């Protein structure tokens, strides 16, 4: 069954690679032929892998996690080939870094001159954000006839957030609704950016980076060169796409009160606008008026909290207070069920309520304390999963900082480099700030940061399962059964 899923991953990646090939044809770039050849190869591999029919299209939780992890690794390995073969990114490890950064919607880059890339490579670089934003397997779920249980295992492994729920009784229809909302947001933003005066190419590529909350642009100064109207559109959609998509479904079916009473939504918007106000007050001396200070602050807060990674200014030059707020926002991230990364607001809410519950149980030992969200009690298993996630998060972050410190860079650079990659944000501070890149890190450190991007996007456990001791060994009971059938 895993082979069946991977075959479709090759097929869809081949279809996706056709688009930059078309862009190359439009702009008369011979590099488009490379994309076309790789697309044909992917389609061939996908087709040949599906010739042998599978007995059952049902699989279980472990297979779901493995299928998702392998899918993302294969997508990245193949997706890096066009950058490398065309020569746009000469070193394969750098091409792989850029591709993983794209698919995981991180936006961290090793490129010092983005504008030197061909149009087809710029398009593919940004389009990887759009593919990875909602997840290619969510798309596969929407179009393939898999069983409901199998789809849920895939969705649980790929979708961002502590829990995955159904919007409608059939999980396949849930996937279709999510992608429908995603496509609508994409089209609306493209139209809005065209109205502000952007070229169609820029409007499309920046929309892919915004809706997918990725952050790759087509200019070296990110978004700074664009008009105020364009920046306001991008700010708006960064916030929109960092909110749980379930909220939009509730609005769609006219459950307005339930949508706006969502606890995570209220906390998230409070964090975004509260942080923007504090930073605006702190940096207002550098601007002619408070409106521009607030606009700049809100753009950067939305960019970091949504884990998009665009920039309109070099926030490395901001006061320490403002930079500290941005670093704290890197930890928080976006909402569960959005295209954003980070720990997620919902997890932090559960964590803080678990602490409160523990304090209350100590002071009132006879009372029954339950962690609740949106008025509903959470099971002990749900709370345990959140605490385990946070524990694993801290361990991996600390280990990553230790490993990349071998390169000899300063603590702020290393800390924010790990935070920016693990939380899928993009730029950090100091040597990896918005006007710099990750190109100076060694190959070893880049591998560590690539792992962080993948493990952060897949929310740790799907990728860690690949290293589980018993995963790749066949149980003795199953071996005995196969031997008996053979005899």
Please give the annotated binding residues for K(+), written as ranges. 105-106, 214, 307-308, 424
DSSP letter for each residue of 400-429: HHHHHGGG---HHHHHHHHHHHHTT----S
Place of tokens 């087809």: 120
> How far apart are the C-alpha atoms of 302 and 236, rounded to whole Å?
8
Task: Say which residues have a Cβ less than 8 Å from residue 255's Cβ, sequence separation at least 6.
Answer: none
Name the binding residues. 105-106, 214, 307-308, 424
Task: Say which residues have a Cβ less than 8 Å from residue 339's Cβ, sequence separation at least 6.
Answer: 105, 133, 134, 160, 182, 211, 212, 213, 241, 242
Place of tokens 């061909």: 118
Confirm if 414 and 401 have CB atoms less than 8 A apart: yes
- Angstrom distances, CA of residue 175 to CA of 94, 193, 204, 207, 273: 33, 27, 23, 21, 31
- Angstrom distances, CA of residue 251 to CA of 187, 256, 260, 478: 19, 5, 9, 49
User: Which uninterrupted H or E stretch holds 277?
Assistant: helix 263-283
Rounded to the nearest 5 degrees, what angle is found at the Cα of 415, between the Cα atoms of 436 and 424?
70
């Amino acid at each position: 069954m895993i082979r069946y899923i991977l075959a479709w991953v090759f097929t869809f990646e081949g279809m996706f690679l056709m688009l930059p090939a078309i862009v190359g044809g439009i702009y008369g770039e011979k590099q488009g032929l490379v994309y076309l050849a790789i697309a044909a190869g992917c389609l061939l591999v996908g087709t040949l892998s599906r010739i042998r029919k599978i007995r059952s299209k049902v699989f279980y939780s472990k297979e779901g996690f493995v299928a998702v992890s392998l899918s993302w690794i294969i997508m990245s390995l193949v997706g890096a080939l066009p950058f490398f073969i065309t020569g746009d990114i000469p070193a394969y490890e750098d091409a792989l870094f850029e591709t993983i950064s794209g698919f995981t919607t991180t936006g961290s880059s090793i490129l010092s001159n983005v504008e030197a890339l061909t149009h087809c490579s710029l398009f593919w670089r940004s389009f990887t954000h759009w593919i990875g934003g909602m997840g290619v397997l969510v798309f596969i779920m929407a179009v393939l006839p898999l069983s409901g249980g199998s789809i849920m295992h895939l969705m649980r492994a790929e979708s961002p957030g502590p829990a995955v729920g159904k919007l409608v009784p059939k999980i396949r229809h849930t996937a279709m609704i999510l992608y429908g909302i995603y496509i609508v947001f994409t089209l609306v933003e493209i139209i809005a950016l065209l109205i502000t005066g952007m070229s169609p190419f820029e409007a499309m590529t920046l929309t892919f980076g915004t809706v997918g909350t990725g952050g790759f642009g087509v200019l070296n100064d990110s978004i700074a060169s664009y008009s105020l109207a364009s920046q306001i559109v991008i700010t708006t959609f960064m916030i929109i796409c960092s909110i749980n998509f379930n909220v939009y479904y509730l609005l769609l079916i006219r459950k307005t009160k339930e949508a706006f009473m969502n606890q995570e939504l209220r906390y998230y918007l409070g964090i975004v606008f509260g942080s923007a106000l504090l930073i605006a007050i702190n940096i207002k001396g550098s601007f002619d008026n408070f409106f521009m200070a607030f606009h700049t602050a809100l753009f950067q807060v939305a960019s970091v909290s949504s884990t998009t990674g665009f920039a309109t200014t070099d926030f490395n030059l901001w006061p320490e207070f403002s930079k500290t707020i941005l670093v704290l926002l890197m930890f928080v991230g976006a909402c569960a069920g959005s295209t954003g990364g980070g720990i997620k607001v919902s997890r932090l809410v559960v964590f803080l309520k678990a602490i409160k519950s523990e304090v209350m149980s100590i002071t009132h030992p006879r009372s029954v304390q339950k962690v609740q969200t949106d008025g509903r009690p959470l099971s002990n298993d749900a709370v345990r999963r959140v605490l385990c996630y946070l524990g694993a998060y801290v361990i991996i972050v600390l280990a990553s900082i230790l490993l990349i410190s071998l390169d000899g860079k300063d603590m702020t650079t290393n800390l924010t480099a790990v935070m920016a990659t693990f939380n899928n944000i993009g730029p950090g501070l100091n040597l990896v700030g918005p006007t710099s890149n990750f190109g100076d890190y060694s190959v070893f450190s880049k591998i560590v940061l690539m792992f962080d991007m993948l493990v952060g996007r897949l929310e740790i456990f799907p990728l860690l399962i690949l290293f589980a001791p018993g995963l790749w060994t066949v149980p003795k009971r199953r071996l005995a059964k196969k031997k008996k059938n053979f005899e």
